[in-house]
Amino acid sequence: MTSAVFVLNGPNLNLLGKRQPHIYGTETLADVEEQCREQAAAHGLAIRFHQSNWEGQIIDWIHEARDAGSAIIINPGAFTHTSVAILDALNAFDGPVFEVHISNVHKRESFRHHSYVSLRADGVIAGFGTQGYLLALQRAANRIEAARAQTDTA
Ligand code: CA2
């Protein structure tokens, strides 16, 4: 287990499963973390799973991933639609980046239709509920395995 996949969650996602289940479902963030850990372990990957309501903290974790991360899966919450600073931090990370939204942001208010993070993301998942994290993790594992296979044959 050498590579850590960083799974980063933005503001208010600590309330997952506790409010607005009609939009975000009934699973808690702890449930999502457990599922991600199980799936990552099956791929031989370590995971660093974090949530913060603070933009600067999320940026610091993205900076940590520059040295310690093989991929970033990020649900930036409302910072998706506002944060050039998170986009800049992601642009300084070399590995694959996957953006996850639990709800289908395109079916919601127009201010949710634009994402700064999508300018950097290699893939975007929206509207698949919390399963979106696992789909993104599957893709991250595939990308990491493909990159390893390439260095092994080089
Ligand atoms: O659909 C998503 O995952 C979002 O990133 C969630 C953000 C929202 O601002 C984005 O437009 C789309 C909001 C996260 C708030 O999470 C809550 C969960 C349960 C109860 C209250 C808030």
CATH topology assigned to domain 4-153: Rossmann fold (3.40.50)
Q: How confident is the model over 47-88, as pLDDT tens digits?
A: 999 999 999 999 999 999 999 999 999 999 999 999 999 999
Please give the distance, rounded to the nearest whole angstrom, from the Cα atom of residue 38 to the centre of ligand 1.
24
pTM, entire model: 0.97
Q: Is the CB of 9 under 6 A from ligand 1?
A: no
Q: Is the CB of 85 under 6 A from ligand 1?
A: no
Active-site amino acid positions: 24, 101
State the pLDDT confidence band at 114, using cuts at 50, 70 and 90: very high
The protein residue with its alpha carbon nearest to ligand 1, atom 19, reads: 16
Give the percent of the chain with pLDDT over 70: 99
Q: How confident is the model over 12-59, as pLDDT tens digits?
A: 999 999 988 999 989 999 999 999 999 999 999 999 999 999 999 999
| Domain residue limits, the chain | 4-153
CB distance 82 to 107 below 8 Å: no
Model pLDDT, residue 154: 76
Q: What is the mean pLDDT of the chain?
A: 96
The protein residue with its alpha carbon nearest to ligand 1, atom 2, reads: 101
